[in-house]
Amino acid sequence: MPALLIVGVAFIQCLGLAGLSWARMSIGSRSQPLAQTVFFALMLLVAATAAICVSIGSALWPVCGVTFGVMIIGVTLSSRQEVQPVV
């Protein structure tokens, strides 16, 4: 497997996780719409990278799949503690 492919895929995965971090940190700020747009673009890039890895027969596609899953779960988790009323 070419080293350039490994480095390129690793770089894209790092970009995806950085986009997730920015999207989470920008909640409630003025940069939130931009961060969300960048996050969705990076999600598309990670998914496209996974599809390309599958199509060329690379063994790196599971890494892309895990990053994609982490991005989905990470952006939907709530960091606020909400108290549930007891009935």
The three state secondary structure string of the chain is CCHHHHHHHHHHHHHHHHHHHHHHHCCCCCCHHHHHHHHHHHHHHHHHHHHHHHHCCCCCHHHHHHHHHHHHHHHHCCCCCCCCCCC
Predicted confidence (pLDDT) per residue in 23-50, tens digit: 999 988 999 999 999 999 999 999 999 9
Reply yes or no on whether the pLDDT at 55 is more than 70: yes
Q: Give the number of other Cβ atoms within 10 Å of residue 6's Cβ.
A: 13
Q: What is the pLDDT of residue 22?
A: 94
- pTM assigned to the model: 0.82
Where in the chain are the domains? 3-76
Confidence of residue 77 (pLDDT cuts 50, 70, 90): confident
Instruction: Look at residues 44, 47, 53 and name the one whose alpha carbon lies nearest to residue 6.
Output: 53
